[in-house]
């Protein structure tokens, strides 16, 4: 829309979703990124050459992806996974990840970020594995580089994703390497509740938030969502606490589900459901169609709930 080298537009005139004609005023922030400063009726004429007239188009806010895995994106051709479930996908990644060096991580993550950017997503929170072996942070470093390269057009937040049993100092090192939040998948640990408490303690030791893969299974009693809610209930209001997936809640009895919704609301946990992923990766036979989080967890009246792709 804007020719290369031209000064950025200062006013866009377009239709709102309701059909009204609106002017969106823009100005650069301290980092040079153009920000919306006002929406309404403006003096568009004052910016004659920097005015973009889209009055026959509808202008929508950009999308944000709250749960991506940019380190795993576009790896299908390298790993050629068999069609399978979540366990098979995790196993395939673990077996194949050693083939990727930092350059590979950067190439795939940058391509994936640009792909979603061209479709209107301007903010991405991505989980990135803390890898086994001598260089556990090559994925995080690569995506931190992508973040810096695309900073003027996209916001990227990195969640360190360690396997259960990863030493504390290695998880904390991921924050030093560029991760913003502590992640994890406690439901695959031998003692899920202890793993949740451990990850939350690590986050608290650095004053950062958490975004945990939470109860990504359908049948079983090793749920962690209650423990998670209890442990973060006293956190400062502005510290991130997010539970992703929450599939097990779809097979809860109504009373237990109702208690869970209450606990989530009290604790301030945001739930990110991932229906596209879980309808594919969870049991396609015995639990159909209960594979993603239920509507009680995705109702804005109940719990804050962005929806992601994974």
Query: Which span sits near Zn ion by CB under 5 A: 10-18, 190-198, 229-237, 302-310?
Result: 302-310
Please say which residue, 110 or 213, places its beta carbon nearer to Zn ion: 213
Please say which residue, 250 or 310, places its beta carbon nearer to Zn ion: 310
What's the CA gap between 295 and 306, in Å, rounded? 13
Please say which residue, 25 or 66, places its beta carbon nearer to Zn ion: 66
Residue 250 is a binding residue for Zn ion (CB under 5 A): no
Residue 214 is a binding residue for Zn ion (CB under 5 A): no
Closest separation in Å from C-beta 196 to Zn ion: 16
What's the CA gap between 65 and 124, in Å, rounded? 5
Closest separation in Å from C-beta 272 to Zn ion: 9
Closest separation in Å from C-beta 65 to Zn ion: 11
Token pair belonging to 137: 């942070």
Closest separation in Å from C-beta 211 to Zn ion: 9
Closest separation in Å from C-beta 273 to Zn ion: 12
CA 302, chain centre distance (Å): 20
Please say which residue, 71 or 104, places its beta carbon nearer to Zn ion: 71
Please say which residue, 273 or 310, places its beta carbon nearer to Zn ion: 310
Please say which residue, 147 or 213, places its beta carbon nearer to Zn ion: 213
DSSP one-letter string for 125-146: EEEEE--SSS-TTHHHHHHHHH
Per-residue mark of binding to Zn ion, 55-74 (x: CB under 5 A): --------------------
Closest separation in Å from C-beta 67 to Zn ion: 6
- Whether residue 243 contacts residue 270, with contact meaning beta carbons closer than 8 Å, is answered with yes
| List of E strands, 89-165 | 121-129, 155-161
How many residues of this chain interact with Zn ion, rule: CB under 5 A?
Answer: 1
Residue that the structure tokens 């568009």 belong to: 44
Residues 6+ apart with CB under 8 A from 152: 31, 32, 33
Q: At what angle do helices 138-149 and 168-177 cross, to 10 degrees?
A: 20
Residue 310 is a binding residue for Zn ion (CB under 5 A): yes
What's the CA gap between 70 and 89, in Å, rounded? 15
Token pair belonging to 4: 């290369």
CA 178, chain centre distance (Å): 16
- Whether residue 122 contacts residue 90, with contact meaning beta carbons closer than 8 Å, is answered with no
Per-residue mark of binding to Zn ion, 251-290 (x: CB under 5 A): ----------------------------------------
Q: What are the residues binding Zn ion (CB under 5 A)?
A: 310
């Amino acid at each position: 829309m804007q020719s290369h080298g031209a000064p950025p537009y200062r006013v866009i005139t377009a239709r709102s979703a309701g059909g009204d004609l609106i002017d969106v005023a823009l100005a650069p922030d301290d980092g040079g990124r153009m920000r919306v400063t006002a929406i309404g009726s403006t003096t568009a004429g004052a910016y004659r050459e920097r005015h973009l007239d889209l009055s026959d188009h509808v202008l929508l806010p950009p999308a944000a992806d709250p749960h991506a895995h940019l380190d795993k994106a576009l790896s299908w051709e390298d790993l050629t996974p068999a069609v399978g479930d979540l366990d098979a996908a995790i196993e395939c990644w673990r077996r194949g990840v050693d083939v990727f060096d930092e350059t590979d991580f950067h190439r795939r993550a940058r391509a994936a970020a640009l792909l979603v950017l061209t479709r209107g997503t301007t903010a991405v929170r991505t989980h990135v594995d803390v890898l086994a072996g001598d260089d556990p942070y090559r994925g995080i470093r690569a995506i931190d580089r992508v973040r810096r390269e695309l900073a003027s057009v996209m916001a990227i937040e990195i969640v360190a994703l360690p396997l259960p049993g990863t030493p504390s100092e290695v998880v904390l090192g991921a924050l030093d390497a560029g991760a913003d939040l502590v992640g994890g998948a406690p439901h695959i640990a031998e003692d899920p509740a202890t793993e949740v408490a451990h990850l939350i303690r690590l986050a608290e030791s650095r004053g950062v938030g958490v975004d945990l893969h939470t109860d990504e299974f359908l049948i079983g009693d090793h749920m962690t969502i209650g423990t998670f809610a209890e442990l973060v209930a006293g956190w400062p209001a502005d510290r991130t606490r997010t539970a992703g997936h929450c599939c097990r809640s779809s097979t809860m009895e109504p009373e237990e589900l109702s208690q869970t919704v209450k606990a989530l609301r009290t604790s301030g946990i945001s739930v990110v459901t991932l229906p596209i992923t879980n309808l594919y990766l969870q049991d396609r036979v015995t639990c159909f169609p209960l594979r993603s989080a239920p509507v009680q967890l995705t109702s804005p009246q109940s719990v804050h709930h962005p929806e992601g792709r994974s």
